[in-house]
Structure 1
Amino acid sequence: MYVSVVLFTADLRLHDHPPLRAALQGGRQVVPLFVHDRGVADAGFAVPNRMAFLADCLRDLDDELRGRGGRLVVRSGDVVEEVCKVAAEADADEVHLAADVSAYAQRRERRLRRALEAEGRRVHFHDTVTTAVAPGTVTPASSDHFAVFTPYFRHWSTQRLRDALGVPRTIRVPEGVGSEELPSRAAVQGVSPGLATGGEREARRRLAAWLRSGADAYEEGRDDLGDDATSRLSPHLHFGTLSPVEVVQRAGVADNPGARAFVRQLAWRDFHRQLLAARPGASTADYRTKRDRWRSERTARADIEAWREGRTGYPVVDAAMRQLRHEGWMHNRGRLLTASFLTKTLYVDWRVGARHFLDLLVDGDVANNQLNWQWVAGTGTDTRPNRVLNPVTQAKRYDPDGAYVRRWVPELRDVRAGAIHEPWKLEGLERATAGDYPDPLITLADGLARFRQARGRE
């Protein structure tokens, strides 16, 4: 009996899983394997919120496998070493896994290929597992990747997606391959109290509910902070409990403005991945440098700490930062506003903000997080790199009655709607309704003047 190993990474599902379906061909036995990567932990990416969500996902995946006669094998250590050990224990002649795009993942793939081929085993990397369109599929005539989203999206939209794959009915795992105990969310310390539940079953429930009652209104409501008309599917896309191919196909069936706007956001994920695949250094270095002389972390320490704690004096910024800490997630409009405030109003290096987001975001990944931060900071792919988002103007537009601010900044709960986004203007008894809420760290005019001077715009 031939045996395959399927290495699960950011694809923790059974629906539409090309590596698993390929591994089962010919009636093969399969070892479904997940490795707690020591390299990820050493790099500081194994943070509580993602580890807790991951524990949910692995337990759910194991349950689903057991319902089909299989089980999940869990190991910890160096991924290459553990895959080779499991392949030897199972006498497997091939290994299947999803292709990835980060510099770390690409190095790991090269190491894995060399190690397995040296042992006479084959390794297969599968595209369109974590993306709808594979990086490198859509390229301009003069470059290896698109640097601007709009032309990328125009070409991306013409691609015919592969058909989504069904769930295997039976999965047979060979005897004699040992596994560690499955992790438990309860064992993880420091988890955000409002962290969502992980796992494929929860992901599919959320997707079905979103397509049934949320997607149609997405175009007009996606920036509304108070109503939160977003899908909240990003953690499931990050961990791969949902297939991007299947999500695009199911959303595209509706073919209305809301569904089209939602699919466009999914294309942004693929855009960032094709960019990072071509320029892996963009995870830590400016994609397009502006030769910024950012304020040092030592000089800006008090401002950075106030930003992290949600005590900047700008209510919508503080609400978003407090939502991040409580839920391990933040509304997309909030992400734009908090990033713009840190990099352009406080003039702090985007890497400081990106690191904090990665420390808390359950959906935090290198491609989306780093490249979105660079977009806002003006060092990435934004065609207007010097734009500055005004948090007051934006708050009045996207949280007009202050519902979002009241939810996350209880000090301002009793401030009237007309003043809630500028509480520093309150006087007398009205000022007392804001409690100990702080005054702004800096005026928007002073922050803008400093930024424009630093960028040579004045």
Structure 2
Amino acid sequence: MHVSVVLFTSDLRLRDHPPLRAALDSAGTVVPLFVRDRAVTEAGFAAPNRGAFLADCLTDLDSSLRERGGRLVVCSGDLVEEVCRVVTEADADEVHMAAAHSRFATRREDALRRALEADGRRLFVHDAVTVAVPPGEVTPSGSDHFAVFTPYHRQWAQARLRDVVAAPRRVPVPEHVKGEPLPARDDVPGISPALPAGGESEGRKRVTAYWRRGLGAYDDTRDDLAADSTSRLSAHLHFGTLSPVELIHRARRHGGPGAEALVRQLAWRDFHRQVLAARPDAAHTDYRTQRDRWRTERTAGDDIEAWRQGRTGYPVIDAAMRQLRHEGWMHNRARLLTASFLTKTLYVDWRIGAAHFLHWLVDGDVANNQLNWQWMAGTGTDTRPNRVLNPVTQAKRYDPDGTYVRRWVPELAGLDAPAVHEPWKLPGLDRAALDYPDPVVPLSEGLDRFRRARGKQG
């Protein structure tokens, strides 16, 4: 009996899964495998919210496989060792998996290929599974990647996407290959109280509901903090329970400004991956250095902790940081505001903010998280590195009646807009009774410090 192994990584779905389809076409019998790689934990990538969401995804994937006569084999340990062990146990000839794009993942992929080939087995890597347009497929003249989004997007939009692959009707799995019990969400401590459910089934329900109720207005309402009208598909894209290729095909068929805006966001996702694939060090070092001498935990510990806890005295910043802890997610506009505040108003190292986000965000991945932080810090691909987002002005624009702030900062529930955005201006305010802090720094003082540090006075 010819057997293939399908190694699932960030592609935890059955619909539009080219590696699974290729393995079934080649062998007929497959071992669907997921390895809980201890290197992920040792590298600090395994945060509680993502661990709980992952447990949901694996449970749902196993259920879908069982509906098709199969099951998911889960094991823990070193990924290369575990895959080779399963390959030997199953007497498989080949392994199929989705292409990797981060430095960590590509090194792991290379190690797996060497180990399999040394044993006379083959590794087949399939592109355009976790992204729509793989890194390196569109490049500018004279460079290995685009450093600016707009010209990248023009070429990205012209790239031909592969066709969507249907889910298999049956997935025969050899009975003698054993795995360990599936992880459970309840076994993960320290998760956010309102963490959403994971899994392909949940992701597809969310897509269906959003296509009916939110997509048409997405371009008009996606920055409205209180409306919460974004798709909230980011965690499902991160874990691969939804296919970016399928979403783009569906959005283009749907048409309209909302669909176009959603596709543009998916292009940003691919843009960051092609930057990081070409410049892996950008995960930890400045992509374009401004020679900053950032404040750190040692020099700004109290300010940093106030930011983390949502006690900065700037209501929209505090609302966003509290949403992050409660849901494991934050509105995209709020991500920009909180990042600008930490790096530009408090002049704190972007890596400190990026690490905090990676701890809490269920959709947190290195490419999007680190490069979005660098964009806002002015050390990344932003062509205006000294831009500063004023949290009060932005709050009045994107939360004009204060609904978002009052939702997450109940201390201010009795205040109307615009006072809810600037409570320190209220005459005769009993601050002790309000139990809300004064601003950690006046905006003008923070702006002056930043301009001096960057050598810019305008």
Q: Could you state the TM-score of these two structures normalised by the residue count of structure 1?
A: 0.99
Distance 1:27 1:69 in 2: 16
Runs of 4+ in structure 1 deviating by more than 3 angstroms, as ranges, are 430-434
- Structure 2 equivalent of residue 8 of structure 1: 8
- Structure 2 equivalent of residue 90 of structure 1: 90
Distance 1:123 1:291 in 2: 43
In the comparison of the two structures, how many residue pairs are matched? 457
Q: Is the 8 A contact 2:3 2:27 kept in 1?
A: no
**Range that drifts further, 230-239 or 207-216:** 207-216
- Structure 2 equivalent of residue 456 of structure 1: 455
Distance 1:29 1:254 in 2: 37
Residues 119 and 448 of structure 1, relative CA distance in 2, 3 Å threshold: same
Residues 268 and 348 of structure 1, relative CA distance in 2, 3 Å threshold: same
Distance 1:432 1:123 in 2: 64
Equivalent position SS for 2:254: coil
- Structure 2 equivalent of residue 195 of structure 1: 195
Deviations along 1:398-446, whole A, 9 cap, x unmatched?
Answer: 0000000000000000012121100010121x44597110000001100
- In the TM superposition, residue 43 of structure 1 has moved relative to its aligned partner by 1.3
- Structure 2 equivalent of residue 168 of structure 1: 168
- Structure 2 equivalent of residue 311 of structure 1: 311
Do residues 71 (structure 1) and 71 (structure 2) align? Answer: yes
Q: Could you state the TM-score of these two structures normalised by the residue count of structure 2?
A: 0.99
- In the TM superposition, residue 311 of structure 1 has moved relative to its aligned partner by 0.2
Deviations along 1:134-156, whole A, 9 cap, x unmatched?
Answer: 11101001100000000000000
State the percentage of identical aligned residues: 71
Residues 434 and 377 of structure 1, relative CA distance in 2, 3 Å threshold: farther
Counterpart AA for 1:315: P
**Structure 2 residue ranges without an equivalent (≥5):** none
Deviations along 1:316-354, whole A, 9 cap, x unmatched?
Answer: 000000000000000000000000000010000000000
- Structure 1 equivalent of residue 44 of structure 2: 44
Distance 1:28 1:280 in 2: 38
Do residues 285 (structure 1) and 298 (structure 2) align? Answer: no
Do residues 148 (structure 1) and 148 (structure 2) align? Answer: yes
Equivalent position SS for 2:56: helix
Counterpart AA for 1:340: S
Deviations along 1:290-322, whole A, 9 cap, x unmatched?
Answer: 110001211111000000000000000000000
Residues 397 and 4 of structure 1, relative CA distance in 2, 3 Å threshold: same
Distance 1:176 1:291 in 2: 58
Residues 269 and 434 of structure 1, relative CA distance in 2, 3 Å threshold: farther
Distance 1:228 1:252 in 2: 23
Counterpart AA for 1:359: H
Distance 1:138 1:357 in 2: 30
Equivalent position SS for 2:112: helix
Distance 2:420 2:169 in 1: 56
- Structure 2 equivalent of residue 60 of structure 1: 60
- Structure 1 equivalent of residue 221 of structure 2: 221
Q: Is the 8 A contact 1:423 1:431 kept in 2?
A: no
Q: Is the 8 A contact 1:423 1:434 kept in 2?
A: no
Do residues 102 (structure 1) and 102 (structure 2) align? Answer: yes
**Structure 1 residue ranges without an equivalent (≥5):** none
- In the TM superposition, residue 27 of structure 1 has moved relative to its aligned partner by 4.7
Counterpart AA for 2:39: G
Distance 1:211 1:434 in 2: 45
- Structure 1 equivalent of residue 233 of structure 2: 233
- Structure 2 equivalent of residue 439 of structure 1: 438
Distance 1:399 1:411 in 2: 17
Distance 2:31 2:49 in 1: 28
Distance 1:222 1:256 in 2: 15
- In the TM superposition, residue 101 of structure 1 has moved relative to its aligned partner by 1.0
- In the TM superposition, residue 175 of structure 1 has moved relative to its aligned partner by 2.3
Counterpart AA for 1:212: R
Distance 2:26 2:206 in 1: 34
Distance 1:307 1:263 in 2: 32
- In the TM superposition, residue 457 of structure 1 has moved relative to its aligned partner by 0.8
Distance 2:404 2:434 in 1: 18
